Amino acid sequence: MPLSSRDAIAPLRITRIVAAPLFGESPKGGWSFEIKAEDSIHALVAVHTDAGITGYGSCFTDGRLVEAALEVLEPLYRGENALEPERVAEKLRQNTFWMGRGGTLTHAISGIDIALWDILGQVTGLSIGRLLGGRHQDRVMPYCSLLMDEPARLADEVTVWRERGFRAFKIGWGPFGRRNDSRLDEAIVSAARDALPPGGRLMVDAGASDAYWPNGLKWALRTADMLAAYGVEWFEEALPPDALEDFVTLRNMSRVPIAGGEVLTRRQAFMPFLMRGAFDVVQPDVTKVGGLSEQRRIAWMAQDFGIRYVGHGWNTALGVAADLQLAAALPNVDLVEYIAGSAYVDNIMATPFQLDADGMLPIPDRPGLGVSLDRDRVSRYSPHAARLFDA
């Protein structure tokens, strides 16, 4: 049939957007105020439409905040065309300027935006990677994210995950930099290095966005020197997230690439960090920054500044699925974050992620996000799971 005689796809109207906060199995954060079983720090989001098609997304924040944000945003999204993710997400952003730009509303918009792209993919029969412009690759290496621990225990953990096929590791948070003990810090890194598989890759995350991070630039410079001796691929959040000028200095002085940006929201917040050259590696979180629409723009901006982009969307299987689609749609993405042993990543989908023999994750080329939630499995972690599935 000639294209000119085809009708455009009719709009799908948004009827309801709901959130299901996840409880009980949130992985530890290594935070100074540690996450408890009853805390909700991740939420799934569903966008229901009048065509009976539902899209899914994910937010890395307290589920109660997502629920409140959905109520506030409802007049803006109700009846909107679910086939226009970028326009609808931008409408939500533009009209909420007076309630604080970034933060909770942006976190909630992230989940909505991911779900809208999922819907557009389902309706057109295309994976999000294709919708975003095409697939540069069919698979990508996941790096296994582990909390730091005493050296011997950490080495045992690395060994467990190495045996499950991971080739790249990031160790972070926990005691590192928090005990004023540089010998302990080095022993931790050394133990992890020794436990890597042959040719294995290692990254280190100080986690300086944690409350009351005690160290400054001098610590970061000394520690970067130590990490260089262990072939560490990047040093992440070595400074508090707003220490822009110190990040610039650290990046210029450090032999180890400097990474950061996971707590920033809105593309505009990334601009000074990119323009000033604060990072070698920028790590926006697709479930926080504003979703796929926003993350794509940040990642392309980074490309143009010669800064490496690696996504931070580890919070649930849907965050990982969104990162995988971006890893397809952008050139030069060689890693995605994959937190070790999270039920919300490994145990909520009909078909869990599976590493191939090379330790790589295949990037789904099915419509939308290309993954399906399993209702019974999600129900184990959320009393409100039914909302996600019943339109």
Residue carrying structure tokens 């392309």: 300
Residues 240-279 that bind Mg ion (CB under 5 A): 262
Rounded to an integer, what distance in angstroms lies between the CA atom of residue 104 and that of residue 61? 8
Which of 56/161 has CB closer to Mg ion?
161
- The one among 205, 210, 285, 337 contacting Mg ion by CB under 5 A: 205
Comparing CA positions, the residue from 177, 10, 296, 194 lying closest to residue 313 is 296
CB of 178 to Mg ion, least distance (A): 15
Residues 352-371 that bind Mg ion (CB under 5 A): none
- Strands, E, within the chain: which ranges? 14-22, 42-49, 54-59, 139-147, 168-172, 201-205, 235-236, 258-260, 281-282, 308-309, 335-339, 361-362
- Give the torsion through C-alpha atoms of 73, 79, 82, 85, to 10 deg: -40
Q: Please, what is the minimum distance in Å from the beta carbon of residue 84 to Mg ion?
A: 32
Structure tokens belonging to residue 178: 């928090």
Least distance from C-beta 259 to Mg ion, angstroms?
8
- Give the residue with the Cβ less far from Mg ion, 30 or 367: 30
Order of strands across the sheet with 42-49? 14-22, 42-49, 54-59
For the CB of residue 338, give the shortest distance to Mg ion in the complex, in Å: 13
- φ, ψ dihedrals at 155, nearest 5°: -60, -40
- Encoded one letter per residue, x for contact with Mg ion by CB under 5 A and - for no contact, window 314-353 reads ----------------------------------------
Report the C-alpha gap between 307 and 299 in whole angstroms. 9
Query: Which residues are CB-neighbours of 300 under 8 A, at least 6 positions away?
Result: 330
- H-only helix segments in 38-103: 63-77, 85-94
First to last CA, the chain: 34
The Cα 18–Cα 12 span in angstroms is 17
Nearer to Mg ion, 128 or 171 (CB): 171
Classified as helix, coil or strand, 321 is helix
Interactions with Mg ion, residue window 182-201 (CB under 5 A):
none
User: Which CB, 209 or 325, lies closer to Mg ion?
Assistant: 209
What is residue 26's DSSP assignment?
P
Residue number, 80 or 262, with CB nearest to Mg ion: 262
DSSP code of 264?
-
Number of amino acids touching Mg ion (CB under 5 A): 2
Q: Residue with the closest Cβ to Mg ion?
A: 205
Query: Which of 205, 294 has the CB closer to Mg ion?
Result: 205
CB closer to Mg ion out of 113 and 262:
262
Given the complex with Mg ion, which of 77 and 314 has the nearer CB atom? 314
The candidate with the shortest Cα–Cα distance to 289, out of 315, 307, 309, 263, is 263
Closer to Mg ion by CB, 262 or 280: give it: 262
Residue 129 CB coordination number (10 Å) = 25
**233 makes contact with Mg ion (CB under 5 A):** no
CB of 207 to Mg ion, least distance (A): 6
Minimum distance of Mg ion from residue 362's CB (angstroms): 25
Q: How far is the CB of 302 from Mg ion (least distance, A)?
A: 17
Of 233 and 262, nearer to Mg ion (C-beta) is 262
Q: How far is the CB of 151 from Mg ion (least distance, A)?
A: 20
* Residue ranges that bind Mg ion, judged by CB under 5 A: 205, 262
